[in-house]
Structure 1
Amino acid sequence: MKLMIHNTAAKLIAIRGLRSIGQGAMVVDLTLYLKDLQWSGSLIGSVTSAAGLFGALLILLVGILSDRFGRKRFLVLYELITFFSALWLCFTTQTLVLILAIVITGFGRGQSGAAGPFSPAEQAWLSCYAEQSRRGQIFSLNTAVGFAGMALGAVIGGLPGLYNSGSPLLAYRPVFFLIAVISLLCTVILLSMQDRDEPAEVSVPGVEQRPEKKPGANPEKEHIIWYEENWALLKLALVNSLNGLAIGLTGPMMAYWFSLRFEVSTQEIGLMMAAGFFLTGMFAVINGFLAERFGMVKSVSWMRVAGSLLMLILPWVPSFTLASLIYIMRNSISRGTQGNRSALTVSLTRESRRGLAASINALSNRLPSAVGPTITGYLFDAGQLSLPLTLTAVMQLISAGLYQRVFGGYDKQKV
């Protein structure tokens, strides 16, 4: 069946694709750039953690405010912040400037094209143009486009290692400049868009379809709806917390891990991650169809289990080539479920509260994940290269079981 996409949704997906190019480059380059500037692993991890904490502080606020004031202005603000931060990095290596730019923008965290702490506004906006019966596919397509852009960005991120410029700043400056240009282009596209049209009619899985609250609505019935939505969001937050900590331990630090473990070059790491992001995009599309066939929750749970088992193997692999293949497959399987996870999240509430739902989903992942890089940085400095990967695998296995147990019933709802 042909997948019909609203013009506004198509533009939001295109923006994600553009944005993800810069993010893919920074996943490869940020920790390696800081390593070239003689930063320690603990300092790199601490700054990455600070970026996660700062983003977590904004997430809930952005979600609530975007429900009230619209989504567009928040996404424009994010692009302008990214533009000026990337431009700033083109001209200085001062530690304070680098810390501020990384913390404010979340550079290097690998967000698959999402708008950082402003992503709740983006997801809520996109959900207005995704009918419930096709939401898994549209959000999976959105994820796939993001990972395709990150694949291209990761290739670009490997370029600084191809030539000796005599200075880390000169070597990495073209990457920072590219990010600034992309953010400016995204800003122009956003300014050409209307904030929202009439949202698509959708149903809420697990909750009987009800109209939005209007003056004179039954207060008792409204209270019941709010209770059901809030209870679903609380369960989501609790399950997400364990997975968020697992992600934080390894996600932002894997380029650094490969550099320490196998002493490989920037371009080798860039090509490996590019292949991983490209394959992840393919798995994201596949997951969209698996969600329609087997359910959004089941498609997430089983893929996460498979990815966790591969992560358990990774620390013990002796060669970079084999480790790369395992890491590529692991990332593709696990991260390819992102679209279905987002689709489930925005389906737990009505349209008027989807910014809040997306915020709670992001916050419950980001807050625990923010402490992960600090822990991993200290472990790396202590020579414990395998422990963070093993902990990640074990926690994600437990998280997958909890996710299926808590939300498995949503797959049985007719959508």
Structure 2
Amino acid sequence: MDRVSIFSLIISRVLRSSSAGIIFVILPYLVLVELKYSSLFLGFAYTVGTFATAIFGLAVGYLADLYGRKNTLILASLLLPLSALLLFLNHSLIALLVASALGGYSATGAVAGGGIGGIVAPIQNALITEIIENENRTFYFSLFTFLSGISASVGSLIAGLFSSEQEFLIAIIMGFLSVFALLPIRTKNIRAKSASLKSKVVIGKFSITGLLNGISVGLITPFLIPFFIIIYHTPKSEMSIYTFLSSLIASTLILIAPFLDKKMGFVMSIAITRGVGALLSIIMPLIRIFPISLGIYLILPAIRILALPIQQRAMTEMVSQDELGRAMGINQVTRLAASSGSTSLTGYLFSESQIDLPFLASGIIMALNIYMYYKFFGGKNEVNRPSRGSSLLKPSRD
């Protein structure tokens, strides 16, 4: 196991996640409060970011497999700080949309899950798979998500302390530092011999489940903060604290993913965590009591991403090593393309004061997503079995 490369990836991810955490909180306040644009425009900006992330993510997935993962990751990582630099210099409508496209301002995941700047996720995961042996991958996927979430939590807390200009400047600096941190990484230079895919059936199944997950998440996740702005008129200073706590909970809770993997395996972990998330999504808009809404907001992101490292582990076991960048890129494309459409719909519904409908639809679609996981993977012992990997407390030695 290459500790230098792992440490470099961790430092880069921590800095990038801190930058993304700042942007995650300040963007809706910049659009809705400072610039006085509508929820419809915010939804459109998120849609542009989501769609661009899907397209760029697919492109960099192919580039990573065919031409090298390290250089592709460095180039892709430059887009987030460049997008923040653009918004630092210009707040026009065009600048907002271009920055959203470059930075991947999709907000379709929890801060802990990397909702901003997701273009690099397929390459990062492919590199983790390349560096880490199979039996420890759930552990390291969980560890990276934990550290990313903690860093994003700090970023979201910073977002309530300064002016928007100062916060964008901090995000820019952290973003560029995250790129420099990637330089010491050493890779095995795994490259695909052909552009064709041997694992296309498995990739197709993950893409269908990813599409349903994308629709469900895209309906509500980008509008959780706007929900509090519109319904409860929550100020940015308070919301940054709540976002910090939500991300902290998500980041900490994900540490039990290896335990869930050992005890329940892939499909059951997905079913339980996302089933609870679907139920909470339906309840949230129906009971408009601030403490209840806040409680759901604090735990919903954690529930939604808890099984993510297990799903990533399962995919790496079922897909050829030289196809992982493309497999994860294709999975991300279907998920985010679906999210872009559902996010636009929610922007329209919010602007028409139909706030309940996206939450109800999200819960129903997530239930269908769980059914498809059982249909596709419920009988596959190799991925549904409990993991043989290490626990978080006692990872295996090299």
When the two structures are superposed, what TM-score results if normalisation uses the length of structure 1? 0.85
Contact persistence 2:269–2:307 (CA under 8 A): yes
Matched, 1:197 2:188: yes
Instruction: From 135, 138, 163, give the equivalent of 2:137.
Output: 135
Which whole-Å deviations, capped at 9, do the CAs of 1:293-352 have from their partners, x for residues lacking one? 321332222111111111111112232222111221222111222222222223221211
Contact persistence 1:75–1:122 (CA under 8 A): yes
**Post-superposition offset of 1:115:** 4.9
Secondary structure in structure 2 of the residue aligned to 1:295: helix
Contact persistence 1:26–1:108 (CA under 8 A): no
Q: Are residues 70 and 183 of structure 1, via their aligned partners in 2, closer, same or farther at CA, if it must alter by over 3 Å? A: same
Contact persistence 1:24–1:154 (CA under 8 A): yes
Matched, 1:178 2:164: no
Aligned to 2:125: 123
- The percent of aligned pairs where both chains have the same amino acid is 25
Distance 2:215 2:192 in 1: 36
Which whole-Å deviations, capped at 9, do the CAs of 1:11-50 have from their partners, x for residues lacking one? 2133212211121222221112101201111111112101
Matched, 1:372 2:363: no
After the TM superposition, which segments of 4 or more aligned residues of structure 1 sit over 6 Å from their partners? 212-215
Secondary structure in structure 1 of the residue aligned to 2:181: helix
Secondary structure in structure 1 of the residue aligned to 2:182: helix
Instruction: From 10, 13, 21, give the equivalent of 1:13.
Output: 10
- The aligned amino acid for 1:328 is L
Distance 2:87 2:208 in 1: 37
Unaligned runs of at least 5 residues, structure 2: 389-398
Distance 1:89 1:414 in 2: 44
Contact persistence 2:266–2:314 (CA under 8 A): yes
Aligned to 2:393: none
- The aligned amino acid for 1:411 is N
State the number of aligned residues.
379
Q: Which has the larger radius of gyration?
A: 1
Matched, 1:158 2:160: yes
Contact persistence 1:136–1:292 (CA under 8 A): no
Q: What pairs with 1:6-405 in structure 2 (closer than 5 Å)?
A: 6-36=3-33, 37-107=35-105, 109=107, 110=109, 112-113=113-114, 115-160=117-162, 171-194=163-186, 196-197=187-188, 227=198, 229-405=199-375
| Alignment RMSD (CA, Å) | 2.3
With 31-40 and 10-19 compared, the bigger mean Cα shift is at: 10-19
Which whole-Å deviations, capped at 9, do the CAs of 1:129-188 have from their partners, x for residues lacking one? 22221111111111111111121111112225xxxxxxxxxx201111111111111121
Contact persistence 1:346–1:358 (CA under 8 A): no
Secondary structure in structure 2 of the residue aligned to 1:316: coil
Which whole-Å deviations, capped at 9, do the CAs of 1:175-219 have from their partners, x for residues lacking one? 11111111111121112323x0388xxxxxxxxxxxx9999xxxx
Secondary structure in structure 2 of the residue aligned to 1:123: helix
Distance 1:340 1:269 in 2: 30
Contact persistence 2:53–2:117 (CA under 8 A): no
